[in-house]
């Protein structure tokens, strides 16, 4: 069937017939960053993808070996490893890595498995001057050098030089800590493609975690990830957003193997629903989503997007300790601009509080996964960062609304709409007679890009 797909150039180039995101940028009153002016307009094919990619245990097991053990993965914020001896354990499927900061201030990562009889050395987080196994008391210093064992006379065959803890590659980018288990992996910066060029202005390093929710969802990790790299589903899944989110003309970009992006404009109605909403309707619905009782009036000749930008500026400037009035585009103050770094790290761009997602398998279960939602808020340079928020954990049956106090009720409701949907996607995929999914050429190009990269790793 796939061989028969022959699209005309016009079909491949088809876009929403309204204005584009780039045309919306033409209405900005301050210079637009080069990163937002890029539009890759990529076509990667129209073939169906086999459903076993999301449902087969054998496929999942190949991902463990070829993806989770070969790629750079975000583990935590650098603030969680601020002091010498701070440690953080990262579990991914059946691998476990312990990250720590040495006395000389370097970050290190080790396979979290004792060289005696294999017990994990650490669990969770904490601070410890050494890595000492609780089972029989063998210990290593933070540099990974073997320090000795009780009754060492019984181990003449255990020599210090052969019992260093095996290391894992570790690096940081803008306040985030990453690891890679592949000793031959490329450097993180090269792996990240255009991200280090695009992001300095949005300062992920100059932020603290103002909320962190970690939820188990009854769907494969890719099923969940993919619902956050296309906005197309919002038309049916999140109808309360149509008055102020331009879903249909979202921009989708891909770069190299590892990076892609969606930009969904905010403060303007969805083009195909625009006839239903006035500028004031857009404004009112945005304030409702934000949980605000206020209803700022949109004066004649003004747009809701402009009014929201004016309202946002003082808060954003105060949080960052910087004046944004003459230099923040409306886009950077409100649009949903989500990047993805393969396989699972999704940082948002912008000047205000930004979201970052991460999606991981839940142990070795092909049918469930863990989703992290971080909110990152700026703090002024040269000041002590506020304390990071504690992780709010939600089990498989606990809705996001239980975390409404940290996410806000409006956002929690949006996530619950996805959270209700995704287990049904997983269930329906397993029940599929067709045995394949069909993707949009443009709006779902990031999903196709993701799977093409996945195949490169699986076939390597
Ligand atoms: S297993 Fe770690 S000291 Fe024995
Ligand atoms: Fe959604």
Rounded to whole angstroms, how far apart are CA atoms 288 and 242? 13
Decide: 132 in ligand 1 pocket, CB within 6 A. no
Q: What would the two tokens of residue 329 be?
A: 């585009």
Q: What would the two tokens of residue 239 be?
A: 């109808």
Whether the per-residue pLDDT at 425 is higher than 80: the answer is yes
Rg from Cα positions in the chain: 24
Q: Cα 392 to chain center, whole Å?
A: 17
pLDDT band at 5 (very low <50, low <70, confident <90, very high): confident
281: exposed, middle or buried (Cβ count in 10 Å: 0-12, 13-18, 19+): middle
- Is pLDDT larger for residue 275 or for residue 325? 275
Question: What pLDDT score was predicted for residue 204?
Answer: 98
Q: Is residue 262 within 8 Å of residue 231, measured between CB atoms?
A: yes
What domains lie within the chain, and their CATH numbers? 2-57+198-458 (3.90.380.10), 73-189 (2.102.10.10)
Q: At what angle do helices 304-320 and 279-289 cross, to 10 degrees?
A: 40
What is each CA distance from 229 to 47, 264, 359, 373, 430, in whole angstroms? 19, 11, 12, 14, 22
Handedness of CA 56, 58, 61, 62 (dihedral sign): negative
295: exposed, middle or buried (Cβ count in 10 Å: 0-12, 13-18, 19+): exposed
Whether the per-residue pLDDT at 4 is higher than 90: the answer is no
Q: What's the average model confidence in pLDDT over 122-128?
A: 98
Q: What's the average model confidence in pLDDT over 403-427?
A: 97
pLDDT band at 1 (very low <50, low <70, confident <90, very high): very low
Q: Is residue 188 within 8 Å of residue 369, measured between CB atoms?
A: no
**Across all residues in the chain, what is the average pLDDT?**
97
Atom of ligand 1 nearest to the CA of 121: 2
Q: Whose CA is nearest to atom 3 of ligand 1?
A: 136
Rounded to whole angstroms, how far apart are CA atoms 359 and 346? 9
Whether the per-residue pLDDT at 7 is higher than 60: the answer is yes
pLDDT band at 3 (very low <50, low <70, confident <90, very high): low
412: exposed, middle or buried (Cβ count in 10 Å: 0-12, 13-18, 19+): buried
- Residue from 115, 138, 165 to probe ligand 1 pocket by mutation (most atoms less than 8 Å from CB): 138
Rounded to whole angstroms, how far apart are CA atoms 372 and 92? 14
Q: What's the average model confidence in pLDDT over 193-216?
A: 98
Q: What would the two tokens of residue 210 be?
A: 């103002």
What is each CA distance from 139 to 115, 166, 458, in whole angstroms? 10, 14, 37
Q: Whose CA is nearest to atom 1 of ligand 1?
A: 117
What is the per-residue DSSP string for 270-323?
Answer: -GGGGGG--HHHHHHHHHHHTT--------TT--HHHHHHHHHHHHHHHHHTS-
Q: What's the average model confidence in pLDDT over 229-234?
A: 98
What is each CA distance from 48 to 435, 440, 451, in whole angstroms? 9, 10, 11
Closest by CA to 112, choosing from 127, 122, 125, is 122
pLDDT band at 165 (very low <50, low <70, confident <90, very high): very high
Closest by CA to 260, choosing from 352, 346, 376, is 346
Q: What would the two tokens of residue 91 be?
A: 């579990």
Decide: 136 in ligand 1 pocket, CB within 6 A. yes
- Pairing mode, strands 207-217 and 391-394: parallel
Question: What pLDDT score was predicted for residue 255?
Answer: 98
Q: What's the average model confidence in pLDDT over 388-405?
A: 98
- Residue from 98, 119, 147, 151 to probe ligand 1 pocket by mutation (most atoms less than 8 Å from CB): 119
CB within 8 A of 214, min separation 6: which ones? Answer: 370, 371, 372, 373, 391, 392, 393, 394
Q: Is residue 242 within 8 Å of residue 270, measured between CB atoms?
A: yes
- Residue from 114, 120, 130, 165 to probe ligand 1 pocket by mutation (most atoms less than 8 Å from CB): 114
Question: What pLDDT score was predicted for residue 326?
Answer: 86
Helix, strand, or coil (residue 244) = coil
- For the stretch 239-257, pLDDT in tens is 999 999 999 999 999 999 9
Decide: 135 in ligand 1 pocket, CB within 6 A. yes
Q: At what angle do helices 279-289 and 409-430 cross, to 10 degrees?
A: 90
β-sheet bridge partners, residue 7: none
Name the strand (E) or helix (H) holding 414.
Answer: helix 409-430
């Amino acid at each position: 069937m796939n061989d028969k797909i022959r699209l005309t150039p016009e079909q491949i180039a088809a876009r929403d017939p309204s204005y584009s995101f780039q045309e919306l940028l033409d209405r900005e009153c301050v210079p637009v960053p080069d990163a937002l002016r890029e539009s890759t307009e990529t076509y990667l094919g129209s073939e169906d993808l086999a459903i076993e990619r999301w449902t087969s245990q054998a496929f999942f097991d190949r991902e463990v070996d070829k993806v989770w053990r070969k790629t750079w993965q975000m583990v935590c914020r650098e603030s969680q490893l601020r002091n010498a001896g701070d440690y953080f354990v990262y579990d991914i499927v059946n691998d476990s890595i312990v990250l720590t900061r040495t006395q000389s201030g370097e970050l290190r990562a080790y396979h979290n498995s004792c060289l005696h009889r294999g017990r994990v050395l650490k669990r969770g987080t904490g601070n410890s001057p050494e890595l000492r196994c609780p089972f029989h008391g063998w210990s290593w210093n933070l540099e990974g050098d073997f320090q000795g064992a009780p009754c060492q006379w019984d181990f003449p065959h255990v020599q210090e030089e052969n019992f260093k803890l095996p290391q894992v590659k570790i690096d940081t980018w803008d306040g985030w800590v990453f690891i890679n288990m592949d000793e031959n992996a490329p450097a993180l910066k090269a792996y990240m493609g255009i991200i280090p060029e695009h992001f300095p202005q949005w300062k992920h390093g100059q932020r603290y975690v103002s909320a962190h929710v970690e939820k188990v969802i009854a769907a494969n990790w890719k099923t969940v990830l993919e619902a956050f790299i296309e906005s197309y589903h919002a038309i049916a899944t999140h109808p309360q957003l149509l008055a102020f989110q331009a879903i249909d003309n979202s921009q989708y970009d891909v770069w190299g193997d590892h990076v892609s992006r969606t930009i969904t404009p905010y403060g303007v109605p969805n083009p195909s629903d625009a006839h239903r909403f006035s500028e004031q309707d857009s404004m009112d619905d945005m304030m409702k989503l934000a949980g605000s009782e206020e209803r700022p009036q949109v004066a004649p000749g003004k747009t809701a997007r402009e009014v929201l930008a004016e309202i946002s500026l003082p808060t954003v400037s105060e949080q960052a300790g910087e004046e944004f009035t003459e230099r923040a585009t409306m886009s950077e103050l409100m649009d949903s601009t989500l990047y993805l770094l393969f396989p699972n790290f999704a940082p948002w761009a912008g000047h205000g509080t930004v979201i970052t997602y991460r999606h991981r398998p839940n142990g070795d279960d092909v049918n469930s996964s863990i989703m992290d939602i971080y909110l990152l808020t700026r703090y002024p340079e040269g000041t002590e960062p506020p304390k990071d928020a504690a992780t709010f954990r939600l089990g498989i049956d606990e809705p996001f609304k239980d975390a409404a106090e940290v996410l806000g009720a409006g956002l929690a409701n949006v996530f619950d709409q996805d959270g209700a949907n995704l287990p049904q996607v997983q269930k329906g995929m397993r029940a599929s007679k067709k045995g394949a999914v069909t993707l949009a050429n443009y709006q779902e190009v990031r999903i196709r890009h993701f799977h093409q990269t996945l195949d490169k790793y699986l076939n390597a």
